[in-house]
Amino acid sequence: MGKRLSSVGVLATLGLVAQVAAAQVPPQPYPQQPYPPQPQPAPQTYPPQTYPPPQPYPPQTYPPPQTYPQQAPPQPYAPPQGYPQPGPGQPYPQPYPQPAPAPPAADAYRSPGEMAYLYGTAIAFGAGTGIWIDAIAHVNDPGIALLAPVALAAAMPVGAYIWDLNDEFARGVPSAMATGILLGGVEGMAVSGLQWQLTGGIHPSSDGSQWGLPVWSTLTFAGAAGGAVAGYAFGEWANPDPRALAFIASGAGWGTLFGMGFGAGLAGQTDYIGNGAALGGFISYNAGILGTGLLSTFYTPSWASLKYMWLGELIGTVATTPVYLFYLGNPQPYHGLVASALGGLAGVAIAGALTAGLADAPGAASWTPPFQLSVSPSQYGGAQVSAFGQF
């Protein structure tokens, strides 16, 4: 029994070993079967291709080679002039222009030049007011007659200073007031002068038609006072440029010079030269104010342009003087004043057109007309008007 079990164990062991060995042996691949040979198609034959013989290319023509100018050898870099050289370790400054600074805003208040203009006209207005008081009061004593003109000539600018000190004038107001005093006072004097001339002048008629000094001085005072009020109102409303006001005042002067010469030249007889000059000057004075006033609404000349316009007036008048050579032996040479008046006005127009775009240099001082008027009491108790100029 024991041997049978041993035989059985041996067999079992052998079977187990055979199974393990069979598991370790990889399975053999199945042998591939060869494919049957495939029949190959017969090769195709193509007819031979015939090509045209190669064509020769035409000879190419090329432009002659260009010759270039000899280039200068490169120059070493030089820094721009006017810039400092950088030091060791410092960056090189860039030569780019700096942007221009913005123009300063226009000042809303008057300039010192405007106040000087107002002070000057205030002195003349005060003296004229004193003369008017003496005239209507019939003051004939020279010492007493000087009291009112001197006192008011000093009080008027002081009053303007105190007014401006407590309530500073706006821009353009002092110039407008001064121009109003000037133009209004001259307007009153023009009316008085015209009436004086048309009623006989220095040889008045015996009918007493001449108004006399009290009326004449009253017209001058009323014109100046009315001009001051109108100028203040206009200045507060429009804040005009002082150059525009100087343009209007200059227009009054140009008109007066033209009218006096033109009116005197048109006189038919020598006795009427004065009447023609007075009437022509009065009309053209107001026409000059009106014309330049309209122009100033859209054009404001520079101070330099105003100077050249006055110079043009002088040159135009002088340039026409050869016309008087044609009046040698003529009993009416004063007719040449017509040409002189037209020449002066043409000189103003030409100079104004040529310098219309001329601008003032920054910080340039204002310019005043080349003539000044002053009113002072005479030694006989009346008024004395003086005019002086500079060129």
200 — pLDDT class (breaks 50, 70, 90): confident
End-to-end CA distance of the chain: 167
Are the CB atoms for 185 and 218 separated by under 8 Å? no
State yes or no: pLDDT of 197 exceeds 60. yes
Bin 57: left if φ > 0, else alpha if -120 < ψ < 50, else beta: beta
Q: Which tokens go with 180? A: 């109003």
> Which amino acid is it at 386?
S
- Cα–Cα distance for residue pair 31/172, rounded to 1 Å: 123
Judged against a pLDDT cut of 50, whether residue 382 lies above it is answered with no
Q: Which domain holds residue 167?
A: 112-383
Q: What are phi and psi of 208, to 5 degrees?
A: 70, 30
Question: Count of domains in the chain?
Answer: 1
* pLDDT value, residue 173: 93
Q: Is the dihedral of CA 192, 291, 367, 154 positive or negative?
A: positive
Whether 7 maps to a domain, the answer reads no
111-141 confidence digits (pLDDT tens): 888 999 999 999 999 999 999 999 999 998 9
pLDDT in tens, 225-234: 999 999 999 9
Output the pLDDT for position 136: 94
Task: Identify the CA nearest to 161 among candidates 124, 130, 131, 123.
Answer: 123
Q: Does residue 70 lie in a domain region?
A: no
**What's residue 166's pLDDT?**
92
Look at residue 23 and tell me whether its pLDDT is greater than 60: no
Q: Could you tell me if residue 31 is inside a domain?
A: no
Q: Could you give the CA distance from residue 377 to residue 143 in angstroms, rounded to a whole number?
A: 11
Return d(Cα 184, Cα 355) in angstroms, integer.
Answer: 29
Q: Which amino acid, residue 232?
A: Y
Q: How much is the average pLDDT of 149-174?
A: 94
**Residue among 191, 183, 187 nearest 248 (CA):** 183
Three-state secondary-structure class, residue 375:
strand
Higher pLDDT, 94 or 242: 242
**Phi and psi angles of residue 262, each rounded to the nearest 5 degrees, phi first:** -65, -45
Question: Looking at the chain, how many residues does it have?
Answer: 391
Decide: pTM greater than 0.85: no
Mean pLDDT for the chain? 80
Residue 75 lies in a domain: no
Determine contact, residues 371/389, Cβ cutoff 8 Å: yes
pLDDT of the residue at 291: 95
Q: What is the pLDDT of residue 110?
A: 83
Within-domain flag for 48:
no
Amino acid at 259: G
Model confidence pLDDT, tens digit, residues 236-247: 998 889 899 999
pLDDT in tens, 241-299: 989 999 999 999 999 999 999 999 999 888 899 999 999 999 999 999 999 999 998 99
pLDDT score, position 113: 86
Rg (CA), the chain: 54
Residues in contact with 259: Cβ distance below 8 Å, sequence separation at least 6, in sequence order: 277, 280, 281, 282, 283, 284, 285, 287, 341
Quote the DSSP letter at residue 381.
S
Mean pLDDT of the 176-180 span: 95
Q: What is the pLDDT of residue 262?
A: 96
Q: What is the pLDDT of residue 55?
A: 67
pLDDT above 90 as % of the chain: 51
pLDDT at 364: 57
Give CA–CA dist 372/389, Å, rounded.
6
Specify if 87 maps to a domain: no
Residue 14 lies in a domain: no
Q: Tokens for 144, please give them.
A: 């007493």
19 or 322, which is more confident: 322
Q: What is the pLDDT of residues 321-372, one digit of tens each?
A: 999 999 998 888 999 999 999 999 999 999 999 999 888 876 555 545 444 5
> pLDDT band at residue 151, thresholds of 50, 70 and 90?
very high
Q: Is the pLDDT of residue 307 over 90?
A: yes
What pLDDT, on a 0 to 100 scale, did the predictor assign at position 16? 54
With respect to residue 237, please indicate whether it lies within any of the assigned structural domains.
yes
pLDDT at 375: 45
As a dihedral over the C-alpha atoms of residue 336, residue 342, residue 348, residue 352, rounded to 10 degrees, the angle is -150
Q: Please give the residue that has the higher pLDDT: either 28 or 184.
A: 184
